[in-house]
Amino acid sequence: MDKIWLKHYPAGVPHEVDTLAYRSLTDVFLQSCARFRDRPAFSSMGTALTYGDIERSTRDFAAYLQQQCRLEPGDRLAIMMPNVLQYPVALFGAFRAGLVVVNCNPLYTPRELEHQLIDSGAKAIVVLENFAHTVQEVAGRTPVRTVITTEIGDLFPPVKALLTNLVVKYAKRMVPDWDIDGAVAIRTALAAGRKLPLLPVDVGPDDIAFLQYTGGTTGVPKGAMLTHRNMIANLQQVSAWMGSNFVEGEELMVTPLPLYHIFALTVNLLTMLKWGGHNLLIANPRDLPNLLKELKEVPFTMITGVNTLFNAMVNAPGFAEIDTSALKVAIASGMAVQRVVAEKWQTMTAKPLIEGYGLTETAPIVTANPVEGGGYTGFIGLPVPSTEVSIRDDAGAELSLGETGELCVRGPQVMKGYWQRPDETAKVFTGDGWLRTGDMGHMDPRGYIKITDRKKDMIVVSGFKVFPNEVEEVVMSHPGVLEAACIGTKDERTGHAVKVVVVRRDPALTTDELIAHCRKHLTAYKVPKQVQWREEPLPKTPVGKILRRMVRDEAEDTAVAA
């Protein structure tokens, strides 16, 4: 397909980016630390670390990993913590030691963590004490031989660190009992590393930076091998797309999405790192009152999130009181943005909610809407620089503009493959090197792409395709609805029927009223045949994506019980 989208690029955005501008992510890190040494790099709970602070701490941690832990270049280090100051220290310390980082969700069950540690072959793990009990349960059955623990306040000033850790452990009782033989506190590791030399390590563009595991909602999680070149390419692509709107050393990014997730990792941490920006880390975005309190206290210029987080914010008491005059851009990814959420956000902040698209396998950004866009479009935007997108049918043939098929991607940000899974790697790549995304969509004459749904989530009613995203958007447009998930159920007559599981904003909303609303906006076969009301919030991933599979499983269990 011709790159028709290039004609519609925003002014100043290049068609290609230099993927070899840096040899590794360590080079990106060290250059920024030198340029912005006295600027704040990361802050959490009122404590900020400068680029100089982070550089010194990562040097000490890297030396400890090399000399004391005897980790060699290419060994895997797992990191299991939310957005706390220790995360970037562990991350760049690992890179400076030549290691591969394995991001672990702190909310993993023992079974999930055990699989990831064994599959990755991680020899060491850095874990927040709040989750050390999970590591304790499985570490002995994995290759892990070094466990480094940390408490939330460990990098705060001494008195604040002591008080914070005491409150977390004893007042709030947020740390379950744990006992891991030989575990080392991160403060001990940093103190030891300070006295040790850091040996030079040669890390190149094609070396693996991350084993970034897929969510595992459709099977056993697989580790996407993301090289330093992959990550640098996407960093350059994101920077080029947003560059003309930002000033080096002056931006303040709010980071409520976890850094162990690929979206926040690239767009928040790495992009702001290159720009000398300041990342405000939010450890628990589900604590909405605290998130709003943080937003009231800083003149933030950027914020990222998923649709459900933005939906929660605009509907939260007190959000209208937040000063958003400094805000330059709000970026949503990870799941489809719904019109009602985007429009309410723009009304309340005077800034559009910019939608992008990506996958773990693409480091992650593939497409994005212009930063200076006029508002919600329903499209995921244009392919970013140095990226090709093709819409293909099940046989792999390219489709015409406007036809719906599977989105396929080719570019320097596309992963090397799945870790130790050549069979799975072969399934997602075409013979000519295109990554099959599993997402269905179409391209318009400008090159803008619209996602209709995940291929696996599609509902077929009497031979007609129904995409859950479309139904959810219509349901969400009713003012009495707070959350909605669309799933398919078996139907003897039509094969499948459309069902929605809904959390009400208005307790008085009835099934008949909601169905009538849907009939105004959807053709008959798309209209939900069943509505299930739910009192609790819908189940979501740690980054806020609604888990349709879990919704479907719970709905089936309810039906059986009835």
pLDDT at 94: 98
pTM: 0.86
Q: Which residues contact 104 (CB under 8 A, 6 or more apart)?
A: 78, 79, 80, 113, 116, 117, 125, 260
Q: In degrees, to the nearest 5, what angle opens at C-alpha 477 toward C-alphas 475 and 482?
A: 75
pLDDT at 107: 86
pLDDT at 522: 86
User: Which SS3 state, helix, strand or coil, does residue 412 take?
Assistant: coil
Residue the block writes with tokens 């379950």? 176
Is the separation of the CB atoms in 116 and 154 below 8 Å?
no
What is the tens place of the pLDDT at every residue in 325-349?
Answer: 999 999 998 777 889 999 999 999 9
Residue 560: pLDDT band with limits 50, 70, 90? very low
Residue 562 pLDDT greater than 50, yes or no:
no
pLDDT at 217: 31
pLDDT at 557: 61
From the list 532, 392, 525, 553, the residue with the least C-alpha distance to 460 is 525
Paired strand residues for 504: 481
Query: Can you tell me the distance from the alpha carbon of 37 to that of 157, in angstroms, rounded to the nearest whole number?
Result: 19
Query: Can you tell me the distance from the alpha carbon of 227 to that of 209, in angstroms, rounded to the nearest whole number?
Result: 5
Is the separation of the CB atoms in 239 and 275 below 8 Å?
yes
Query: Can you tell me the distance from the alpha carbon of 140 to that of 154, in angstroms, rounded to the nearest whole number?
Result: 26
Looking at residue 434, the DSSP 8-state letter turns out to be P
Residue 35 pLDDT greater than 90, yes or no:
yes
What is the tens place of the pLDDT at every residue in 266-317?
Answer: 999 999 999 999 999 999 998 999 999 999 999 999 999 988 899 999 999 9
Residue 471 pLDDT greater than 80, yes or no:
yes
pLDDT at 463: 66
Identity at 436, one-letter amino acid code: R
Residue 561 pLDDT greater than 60, yes or no:
no
What is the tens place of the pLDDT at every residue in 191-200?
Answer: 999 999 999 9
- Report the mean per-residue pLDDT for the chain: 93
From the list 97, 90, 52, 47, the residue with the least C-alpha distance to 70 is 97
Burial class (CB in 10 A: 0-12, 13-18, 19+), 245: middle
Query: Can you tell me the distance from the alpha carbon of 34 to that of 269, in angstroms, rounded to the nearest whole number?
Result: 17
Query: Can you tell me the distance from the alpha carbon of 485 to that of 476, in angstroms, rounded to the nearest whole number?
Result: 9
Q: Give the residue with greater pLDDT, 412 vs 544.
A: 412
Residue 234 pLDDT greater than 60, yes or no:
yes
Which has the minimum average pLDDT: 253-262, 377-386, 459-468? 459-468
Residue 216: pLDDT band with limits 50, 70, 90? very low
Across the range 370-399, mean pLDDT stands at 92
Residue 220: pLDDT band with limits 50, 70, 90? low
Residue 149 pLDDT greater than 50, yes or no:
yes
pLDDT at 558: 60
Looking at residue 320, the DSSP 8-state letter turns out to be G
Residue 218 pLDDT greater than 60, yes or no:
no
User: Which backbone phi and psi does 216 adopt, to 5 degrees?
Assistant: 75, 20
pLDDT at 494: 76
Query: Can you tell me the distance from the alpha carbon of 215 to that of 221, in angstroms, rounded to the nearest whole number?
Result: 6
For the chain, domains (ranges, CATH) are 49-203 (3.40.50.980), 387-454 (2.30.38.10), 458-561 (3.30.300.30)
